[in-house]
Amino acid sequence: MSLKFEIRQAAHPTPEKERAAKLLDPGFGRVFTDHMALVRYSQAKGWHDARLESRANFPLDPATAVLHYAQEIFEGLKAYKRDDDGVNLFRPDANARRFRDSAERMAMAPLPEPVFIEAVEQLVRIDRAWLPGGEGSLYLRPFMIASEVFLGVKPSADYIFAVIASPVGSYFKGGPAPVSIWVSENYTRAAIGGTGAVKCGGNYAASLRAQAEAIEHGCDQVVFLDAVERRYIEELGGMNVFFVFDDGSLSTPPLGTILPGITRDSIIALMKDSGTRVREEPYTIEQWRGQRKAERGLRLRHRRRHLADRQGVFGKWRFSHQRRGGWPGRHGAAQEADRHTVRSRGRPAQLDQKGAVSNVIPGWSEGPDPESRDSGFDASHRPGMTGSVL
């Protein structure tokens, strides 16, 4: 199914000078373009009234279903400006499929994938002038809400699908860098049979208390354990997670209760194509801590041997000579690196970006807005695959 979009140019678009000023430092999710795509659904008409128009507020009755029963889903993807001034979208077909899966799980009217892709492409075309250069990109937020006016627990009969756009810089200020992680032992994000694999606002709302706890303890992100045994690593509040081992192999938690990240899927495909072994299997917090404990023991022995060698020359150990990163040969740690911190109930364990059992790379994420899980690859981490070219 496809729909013809009616194009209604904004009557008062942002002046060029004002737009240029906003694009100098757009931040993330604070600046918006002039237009939005809009499609409506009713049981009588199906999907209809597809158009691009000026970005504007939605008039909502206080009894609109989404406000009471949270039938709402969304996606996040980016458009990148190429060196030849063309534009790339990163795998929008995958976002369209996941959006349809989310709708079915939330008992919402599934949006045909071609309509999703057409809405995204049309918005990029009309607001192309908002694409920032350099490391910036145009963040696209497709979403759907239940718009029927009623009070009662049942699926809505009416829906609004819309796409808005926001020029963005890097989600993490200063670009990709290590993040510190708080292990949540009091809160879980999802359970088997729930909505953990769905991109709906309720999942993110449920993670905010745990994320606030992480920030209170000086950490950037929270990592959730499974809801049954409270020991299996699932995902971070804002991204999927991969563990990197000595032999170069990767491990990531299996799907089921976590979001099927598009960047996650891309990393797995690219690593397998390069000959890297990737395992999708459960990994416990005890394994993570045990690996770190073994690594710390190796480093302690290394330091003692180094101290014995140094004392004959300097008479004492100079701590300024100690590497901040992992020792050569451990997880490819031939260069210095800043440290991650993983804490559980206030007990910190240091994890080096290159010397640890796990590398957390913000650019390899699905997101941000508040979820970097949406953000796709940071401009400096784009893989060699694109979805569509505009």
Q: What is the pLDDT of residue 185?
A: 87
Mean model confidence pLDDT for the chain: 79
Question: What would the pLDDT profile of 334-387 be if each residue is shown by its tens digit?
Answer: 222 233 333 333 333 333 333 232 333 333 333 333 343 443 323 233 333 334
Q: What is the pLDDT of residue 6?
A: 96
Phi, psi torsion values for 203, nearest 5 degrees: -60, -40
CA quadruple 83, 86, 87, 88: dihedral sign: negative
Q: Tell me the average pLDDT across 128-148.
A: 95
Measuring CA to CA, which residue among 147, 132, 139, 128 is closest to residue 38? 147
Instruction: Name the 3-class secondary structure at 284.
Output: strand
Helix (H) or strand (E) holding 340: strand 339-344
Q: What is the pLDDT of residue 170?
A: 74
Least confident of 72-81, 155-164, 340-349: 340-349
**Better pLDDT: 25 or 39:** 39
Instruction: Name the 3-class secondary structure at 282.
Output: coil
Instruction: Judge whether 130 and 167 are in contact, CB under 8 Å.
Output: yes
Instruction: Judge whether 349 and 146 are in contact, CB under 8 Å.
Output: no
Residue 123 — pLDDT band, cuts 50, 70, 90? very high
Measuring CA to CA, which residue among 164, 166, 171, 213 is closest to residue 188? 213
- The fraction of the chain above a pLDDT of 70, given in percent, is 73
Q: Tell me the average pLDDT across 154-164.
A: 98
Q: Is the pLDDT of residue 91 over 70?
A: yes
DSSP secondary structure string, 72-116?
A: EEE--EEEEE-TTS-EEES-HHHHHHHHHHHHHHTT-PPPPHHHH
Residues 130-147: b if buried by 16+ CB within 10 A, e if exposed: bbbeeebbbbbbbbbbbb
Provide the pairing of β-strand 233-236 with 137-146: unpaired
- How far apart, in Å, do the first and last CA atoms of the chain sit? 21
Q: What is the pLDDT of residue 369?
A: 38
Tokens standing for residue 347: 């007990």
pTM: 0.77
Q: How far is CA 349 from CA 2, 56, 84, 182, 245, in A?
A: 53, 48, 46, 10, 18
Indicate the length of the chain as a whole number.
390
Instruction: Name the 3-class secondary structure at 342.
Output: strand
CA angle, residues 70, 74, 78, in degrees to nearest 5: 160
CA quadruple 17, 19, 25, 30: dihedral sign: positive
Task: Tell me the residue type at 288.
Answer: W
Burial class of residue 9, CB neighbours in 10 A (0-12, 13-18, 19+): exposed
Q: What is the pLDDT of residue 237?
A: 83
Q: What is the pLDDT of residue 177?
A: 74
Integer Cα distance of 175 and 13 in angstroms: 31
Task: Tell me the residue type at 38.
Answer: L
Q: Is the pLDDT of residue 143 over 70?
A: yes
Instruction: Name the range with the highest mean pLDDT among 235-239, 301-305, 381-385.
Output: 235-239
Least confident of 154-163, 219-228, 236-245: 236-245
Q: Tell me the average pLDDT across 226-236.
A: 93
Provide the pairing of β-strand 233-236 with 339-344: unpaired
Q: Is the pLDDT of residue 389 over 70?
A: no
Integer Cα distance of 219 and 199 in angstroms: 24
Q: What is the pLDDT of residue 314?
A: 30
